[in-house]
Structure 1
Amino acid sequence: MSTLNQIRESISEQNAALNKSGEDYRNQTKEVKESSDLTEGAKNRRVNELELERDREYKKLQEQKANIINNGIKSLGKRVYSGSEVSNPIAFDQAVQSFANSSDEDLIRMLKTDPSEETKRAIYKASVISDNPKFKVLAEASEVFPKDKEKISDYFELQQDFGKLEPRTQKLSRRLFGETA
């Protein structure tokens, strides 16, 4: 099973846990409201306790899901620029830093001039680790280097579904209403 599929499966399991948790709390709340053993005040207190407990559980599950997504994005990002050991780690890190500050057009131009494997990996790493990933560079790289296309497309897919490329309206509705929106 590919890394992307494993991440998607973990997210799906987390969504199922969120849905089950919500359903359980709704059922418990319904039972309390229908109970004839409790006074109205006791019912209201118990319902409030259940709501607080539900909110804590929801927050915990959402944090776990966010960790799965963040770790998945990091994992797929590392997969994009991973490879054999670099000959000079310090020079590699310096190249990554300078490429991170370069424009997309400069990096694309460098990719098209048939760079060495280490230079290509440094460009990939700079594109992935910057605050705003350089998706334009990675898209061009997948065209120029077809053997890297699968790794780059997996990274893009996860970013589109849950990361920097997720549509703003989808992101807002997910944050406001949860996964069921």
Structure 2
Amino acid sequence: MAREHRETERKYEGFALPAGLGELPGVTATREAEPQDLAALYYDTSDLRLLRRGIAVRRRTGGGDAGWHVKLPLGADARHEVHLPLGTGGPREVPAEFSGRLAAFTRGAALLPVAHLRTHRVRTQLLDRRSQILAEVSEDRVASRTFDLTAAGATPARAGPTQGGEVHRVG
């Protein structure tokens, strides 16, 4: 059974987390959360139809939301996310429920692996006066590999490290 929710997220590249997050308005404390090691395989058509529409399909292991994810754009920083557990479909086969939801965008084209990301995520939670999480700020170190979609079987093409961060609004 799919879980669905709205996600608000902002991504920034090439910076380190600033000091003083606990001094932001409404924040009374910060808490370091357990770091996470994530691996994600992203899928698209060979001509990247989903990417051009701002849609992401991935299978991720590690972290608190391991599984299959489809992210559909709702606006500038918001997405509608659909999540299925890892056991749905095969490790390299997009679940039928997702293929059906995406048929209008893929127009019958096969979904293939297009990129593989390995992420080490360090997380800081921003808390209110009741110790409730207002937001989580993540600093990610990412190694990525894209696949050559012109070759049969989508072979690895290029790799590179990046550093960046995310801010997730809770609630």
TM-score scaled to structure 1, two decimals?
0.20
Higher strand share: 2
Scaled by the length of structure 2, the TM-score of the pair is: 0.21
Q: Which has the higher helix share?
A: 1
Which structure is higher in RCO with an 8 Å CA cutoff and minimum separation 6? 2
